[in-house]
Amino acid sequence: MLFNTPDNCKRITGYGKHDLLGVAMGYKVPLDKVRFVKAQWGRNQAGNYQCNMVFNTPRGLKHCSVFIIVQDEFIFGQAVTIPGNKAICFDPQR
């Protein structure tokens, strides 16, 4: 695991195996319509900074909190660490 820092957030190139389903469940959209876009360091709903993974959904772009950054053959974030949980996401500020 890597520390959740701006530099490590930039290194994320993929998502965890439960993330797409967690986003789809949270927004009640079809799983096959959810796509990972990128990871980026930014503000959360409370105004603090964190690593967010951005997913495109039929309801627009959603920014989801990254709980764990894992380095394996590539570096990926996990927004959902337990199967069946919903991702904690929000709409980006405009």
- What is the average pLDDT value for the chain, to the nearest integer? 95
- Taking residues 56-84, report their average pLDDT: 96
Q: CA angle at residue 37 from 85 to 5, to 5 degrees?
A: 75
Query: Residue 70: enclosing H or E segment and its boundaries?
Result: strand 68-71
Indicate if the pLDDT at residue 94 is higher than 70.
no
Indicate if the pLDDT at residue 86 is higher than 80.
yes
- Taking residues 52-73, report their average pLDDT: 96
Domain definitions of the chain by residue range: 6-90
